Amino acid sequence: MEGAAVSVLPDDVITRILRRLPARSLAVSRHVCKAWQTIIDDQQLLLQLRQLLLHAVGGIFINYIDHDRPHFFTRPTLTPGPRIDGEFLLVECGEEPWEWYRVQDHCNGLVLRSADNFSDDNMYVINPATRKWDHLPPCGDDEWNRRAFIVFDPAVSPHYEVFMEPSEDVMSPPSWTWHVLSSTTMRWGAELHVWLRVRPHPRVTKLSLANDTYYTIIKSPIDLAECNGGVRSFIGKSKDGVYFAALDNKARLRVWTLSESADKRTTEWLLKHQSALNPYAWSMNIRENDDPQQRTYTGPWNMDVCDDRMTNDNAYYDSEYNKEDWDSDEDNILDVPSNEKEEEEEDDNDYFEIVDFLGFHPYKEAIFLEGA
């Protein structure tokens, strides 16, 4: 049997081999030949590995209302890998250094960055890990005032799409026009029309990207009275799909997951977690140091340089905790020790200013919170 044998092996033998590959090798193998690509796509081998593809959280971006740019927080790690450019220094945008910008949205490692100014020429899609970036063409004059969302799933396609919310007040008109940009063409177009039945807030809308005539409005798990009462809500994607979190001004946290019936016609919010946060106990983890630049935390988060005049992007804070990789499970603030007596007393404190919700962990059931 002379050479060339693997290319003539039966499909199920090839499948058996490919199933043993880690995610990245499998993604590469898709390009070996047409037959392998067909096998990988038909059997959805990459989709089955989706959980493994998203194997690391490099850090989190936090937008500030009083800083000119978002800051990137990382945990010290010993795992070799591409250093993440949290400042987007790689983007050659020719902007003036004092230009303000923020992170609009992110999806599976891609970050949608936009400027805070009124220019219509300021959106970038950046992969901070691979250092690839795209400058998006302008969408319209009022783009700065519209929310944009990015959709990207490397297990399905190397291409991404950006959705631009309609500028009109979505509560009143009967139709809702979204602009869509696909990285295959890098052009805005293929407007997605959604016919809207007006329902009272709060609600969650699900758009089907495959078929623009299909959409669903899903009632949110909290009602209007709670919204008016100051409950803040957050929606995101995590381990098992769509998650909804609500934080009231007593720092009581509730998290639901969206459960869909097999035919996707009926949905239900399942309460997954309910607890009262104790943000005062979190501060016990801070090691005091008068110089804010030197202050570190137990279970430290390293912040990219605060001083924007510094351009040395290696100027990350050192930490003595550089000994092992970070695991989000170790940072469980729900279990921080607290003074039980205090808890028994009637708590009249208003936590509104103290706890804020940052986001959902993309593939573990964890959330990121901020305690002021």
Partner 1 sequence: MAAPESGDGNNGAARMVTLISSDNTRFEVEAAAASLSQTLQLTILDGGGGGGDGIPLPNVDSATLSKVLEYCIKHAPAAANGGAPNATAVDRAELERFDNEFVNIDQSVLYSLIMAAHNLEIEGLQSLVAKKVADMIKGKSPMEIRRTLGFPDPTPEEQAEMNAHMLEYGWAYE
What's the CA gap between 242 and 269, in Å, rounded?
10
Report DSSP letters for 216-232, one per residue: EEEE-SS-HHHHHTT-E
Q: Which residues contact 112 (CB under 8 A, 6 or more apart)?
A: 103, 104, 105, 106, 123, 124, 125, 148, 149, 150, 162
Stretch touching partner 1 by CB under 8 A, among 11-19, 189-197, 203-211, 234-242? 11-19
Q: Phi and psi of 238, rounded to 5°? A: -145, -155
Give min distance, CB of 4 to partner 1, in A: 5
Q: Which is nearer to partner 1, 5 or 65 (CB)?
A: 5
Give min distance, CB of 25 to partner 1, in A: 5
Q: Which of 33, 190, 270, 334 binds partner 1 (CB under 8 A)?
A: 33
Q: Is 18 in the site for partner 1 (CB under 8 A)?
A: yes
What's the CA gap between 209 and 175, in Å, rounded?
17
Q: Is 32 in the site for partner 1 (CB under 8 A)?
A: yes
Q: Is 55 in the site for partner 1 (CB under 8 A)?
A: no
Q: Is 27 in the site for partner 1 (CB under 8 A)?
A: yes
Give min distance, CB of 113 to partner 1, in A: 19
Q: Is residue 371 within 8 Å of residue 282, measured between CB atoms?
A: yes
Provide the 3-class DSSP secondary structure of residue 51: helix
Edge to edge, what strands does the sheet with 267-276 contain? 232-238, 241-247, 252-260, 267-276
Give min distance, CB of 73 to partner 1, in A: 24
> Interface mask (CB under 8 A) for partner 1, residues 125-164, using x and -?
-----xxx-------------------------x------
Q: Is 24 in the site for partner 1 (CB under 8 A)?
A: yes
251-261 burial: b if 16+ Cβ within 10 Å, else e: bebbbbbbeee
Residues of the shown chain interacting with partner 1 in the complex, contacts defined by CB under 8 A: 1-7, 9-10, 12-13, 16-22, 24-25, 27-29, 31-34, 82, 130-132, 158
